[in-house]
Structures are given as structure tokens and as C-alpha cells.
Amino acid sequence: MSGLGKWRLKNQMLIDNAISNIIGLLVVGLISQRNVSPPTPAALKVGSFVDCVYLPLIFIVIGWATYRYEQPIRRCLDALLEGRSPAEADLTSARRKLLNEPFVLMGMSLGAWLLAAVIYPFVFHLVVPGEISLYRVVLQTLLVGLITVIVAFFRLERSLQKRLAPRLFPDGGLYATPGTLPIRIRTRMLALCCAVNLIPFIAIATMNWGAGYSTEPPEVVLALLRSTIYLNTALFIALGLATTLLVSSNLTRPLEEIIRVLKTIRGGRLDRKVRVRTGDEIGYAGDVINEMTEGLREREHMRRSLALAREIQQSLLPVHAPVFESLDVAGRSLYCDQTGGDYFDYFPCGDHGRERTALVVGDVSGHGIPAALLMATARAFLRLRASLSGDIARVMDDVNRQLSRDVESSGQFMTLFLLMVDPDRQSLSWVRAGHEPAIFYDPACDAFRSLDGKGIALGLDASWRYEVNTLDGLCPGQILLLGTDGIWEARDPAGRMFGKKALYDIIRDRAAHGAEDILEAVLAELARFQEGAAPEDDITLVVAKPK
């Protein structure tokens, strides 16, 4: 920015206030030129003398007071124009003073013309008594002040919006600035009403007052009155149009900005912000839209993060069931959130030439990211420990000890069921860590059995020692089912629970099918039962059949 541009920016409000006073003087001067009762030469001479003394003096006083008032604003503008960050105390004071400045300058101008409404009649009364109507002088002086205040109101607001607010309020927040007199929409409408109604009324009252004191013949007075009415009408129509254009511009410009930003948001772009330049209801709406956009941007970022977390977590679960020589397996996890705490796995555990297969199902307390992190941690611990020597009870002991250290202050825990299938010995061995018992079904005798056992959830007590439970007589065609309570505790829209009986019926009906068919049948019946309702809990199921 050039030196002239910087000077103009810092003195913008002072310049606008001076222009507003000059406009007030010019408008009243034009009205006075066609007055039906013009002042005498002596009165004109006295008036010119008072103008030459009073007007420069009062403009100097207003300019000096404005300059003193604007000191914090000027310091902040100097810092910003030089690329420095202003002091926080200066910035707070400057923002408050800037928003109050239109009212302060209008108050000073109105006070100056109220004082003139006393001084001018007093001087006329002393120097040229009877030469001019003192009431008319008072009304004309008040008219100058009123026109000045109205013009200043809209000019100062326009400069504040267009030039100064973007500098001191780059992120908006005008509405929330404490200790200020905000320019509301209602205030603008009242000012516009005053400009197009009150000012013409006072001008007509002044003209009528002068007509009553005219010494000219009635036909001359009527002719002058007619031409004066035409002049005043044209003048005030022009003033009303100019004021209306200022008001509409000050209102439509921020509204157009809001509409542009909303269109970009509708198009999916969240990188645009409303440039808030007003402290009225429109400015407040702009601040709210910016906050909403920021929230949407954070939400979109969170959604993408959750999608990535879901993708990573899903990669930790088996995508396809491995092919085991003696076992047919299938598994699936369905999360009620983007991520979840349910876990299933199956992997071979060879030992001294024997083929054994480990089946695992777990359920972390809670949902979402914290549960997913604990699930991933438990998976890593379990897979690492299972690759070392020791029976499955010692595997569970070591996993529990590590998890207890990690979650001791968080209150989280994880239930787990670890089942080892040994087809060579036709046996099962399992450790239950607070999880729902696995289901064992023998089609030959149509009998269901729960694979129970003692054991608390992982992460509650690092000193707990788990026990191995066994079952012999494993035969081809028997069915093993490991799941989480999200299956049998699922509810339909009427609140009825799915229950284990429905699960048993599906297993019995599909006993001759493969593990994948049984899995799909359970999930399909569960979806039909819920009638499209969103699940309230994660659902995990593993089905295995010895070959």
C-alpha cells in the first residue's frame, strides 16, 4: 500500500465525518438560497462573520478530539500495515473504539451543531436584533446537524465495513465484541426513516416559519414558496435516494458474501469463510456460518480419519478364511460405528508335528476409536505370545498381564475366548476370559453344549491365572460357534430380543451345510429380524466344522 493509501486508511473516519458536515452545510445552504424571507444584508454579514470564526474552530476541535480517540486504532493499523502483530491490549481497545467510533463522531457533530443553535441566535440577537427570525436560525442550524448526523451514520458505517473492519477483524467476531454500541438493522431503518421524513419536515417547517414573517406581497410569497417547495422536493428526493442506496449497499454486500459462501458449502467446499464486516444480525449470521463451516471441516476430517481407522482395523481381521486340512472355518465382524472393539481370528499352531488351529473371539468394552486401539493391541499381544511355547492358559496369563499394565488407569477391559482345535487327538481345549461361552452342536444326537470355564476379562487383574478346559470326542460334522453378545442381544424395532433359541434353530437347520453357509444364514436372519434398524452393538461370529 502506498503512503497516500496508508494515510487515507488511518484518517478515513475523520475524512468521512468532515465530508458529512460539509454536505449538511451545502444542503441547508441550497435551501436557504430560495427562502421566502431572505435575511437582510446586515444579517448576512453577521452570519458570514460567525461562520468564519465558529466553523473552523469547531472543525479543529472535532478533528483533535477524533485524533485523540483514534490513538489505539492508529497504533494497531501501523503495526498491521508494517506486518507486525499489535499488542493484545491495543487490539482489544482498538476494536472496541472502532465499533463505537461512528456513534462518537456523530455525537460530536451533533453536539457542535446544538452549540451552534445557541451561539448563532445569541449573536444575531446582540448584533442585529429584529433583522432575522431567531427561531428560523435555530431550526436551520438543527437541520444542518441532523443532515450531518444522518449522512455521517451511513458514510462511517460504509467505511467501517469496507476498509477498517477487514483489517482489525480478519476473523469476524464484531457482534461478540464487548463494550460496544452495535449498528443493528433496526438502527439503520430508523436512520433511513429520519432521513426521508424528519429532515424534510423540519425544512418545510423552517420555510413556513419564514413565509409567516415575509414582508413581500402575498403573490410574491406564494411564487417563492412554490419554487422553494419544488427545489426542496427535488433535493430531498435526491437525498433519500442516496441514503437508500447507502443502506441497501450496507445490507446487501454482506448478504451477498454469505450467499456466495453458502453456495460453496453446498458444493462441498469447506475452505471458504464469510468475511464478516458488520456487528449486526447479518454479521452474527456470518460468524455462525464460519463456526458451522469449521465444525463441518473438523467433522469431515474426523470422518476421513475414522474411515482410515476402519480400513486399518479391518485389515487386522481375516479377510478370507484360510484352508485347513481338517477344519472348515468362516468369520465376520459387523461394527455399529466406523470402528469397533470386536475381534476374531484363526491361525494354525503347529506343535511337534501336530496340526492345531486356534479360534479367537474377543469383545472390548465400549465402541469407537478407544475400543479399536485396545483390540489392535490385544491382537498383537495374542499373536506374538501364541507363537511361543506354553499352553493356552499361559498364553492368556501373559496377554492379560501386558494389557493390565496398559489399561490400568483407563477402566477398559476385554473379554476373550481362545479355542484350540486338535483334530489329531479329536479334542478341544479352551480358555475363557470373561467372554460368552462358545456353542458346541453335535447333529448326531441333536445336542447343544456351552463351552464354559472360569476366568475374568483381560485387563482387570494382572495376577489372575487362567485355566484350560478340554473336551474329547471331536468328530466331523460337529459345529463350533464363537460369537459376541451383539448377536443374541440384538433387538427388533418392537424391542424384542433375538435370543439364543433363534440361533440354535438356524444351526440345527443348516447343520449339513458348510461353515460359510451357516455364517451367512445367521447374519441374514439377524438382518431380517432387525428390519433394517441400525445395530446397537458390534456383531462378531466365527463358525467352525471339523472335516
Full pLDDT tens readout for the chain, 547 residues = 688 888 888 888 989 888 888 888 887 776 665 555 566 778 778 878 888 898 899 989 999 999 999 999 998 988 888 888 888 888 889 889 998 988 899 899 989 989 988 998 888 888 878 666 677 778 778 878 888 888 888 888 888 888 888 888 888 888 778 888 877 888 888 888 877 777 777 777 776 666 665 666 777 667 777 777 777 778 778 877 887 887 788 788 888 888 888 888 888 888 888 887 777 788 888 888 888 888 888 887 777 777 776 777 777 788 787 788 888 999 998 877 766 778 899 888 755 556 788 999 999 887 777 888 888 888 889 988 888 888 899 999 999 999 998 887 777 899 999 999 988 888 999 999 999 999 999 999 999 999 999 999 999 999 999 999 999 989 999 999 999 988 998 888 888 899 999 999 999 999 999 999 999 999 999 989 988 777 778 889 999 999 8
The DSSP element (H or E) to which 113 belongs, if any, is helix 88-127
Domain boundaries, the chain: 3-282, 319-546
Identify whether the C-beta of residue 101 lies closer than 8 Å to the C-beta of residue 70: yes
pLDDT tens profile 224-280: 777 777 777 787 788 778 878 877 887 888 888 888 888 888 888 888 888 877 777
For 538, the grid coordinates are 458390534
Helix (H) / strand (E) element for 206: namely: helix 199-212
Comparing CA positions, the residue from 18, 27, 25, 22 lying closest to residue 239 is 27
421 conformational bin, left if phi > 0, alpha if psi -120 to 50, beta if neither: beta
Residues 6+ apart with CB under 8 A from 544: 327, 328, 329, 330, 346, 357, 359, 421, 479, 480, 481, 482, 515
H/E stretch holding 22: helix 12-33
Coil vs helix vs strand at 11: coil
In 377-445, at which residue ranges do the beta strands (DSSP E only) sit? Answer: 414-422, 427-433, 438-442
Q: Could you name the CATH architecture of 319-546?
A: 4-Layer Sandwich (3.60)
Give the three-state DSSP class for 541. strand
Model pLDDT for residues 70-101, shown as the tens digit of each residue: 999 998 988 888 888 888 888 889 889 998 98
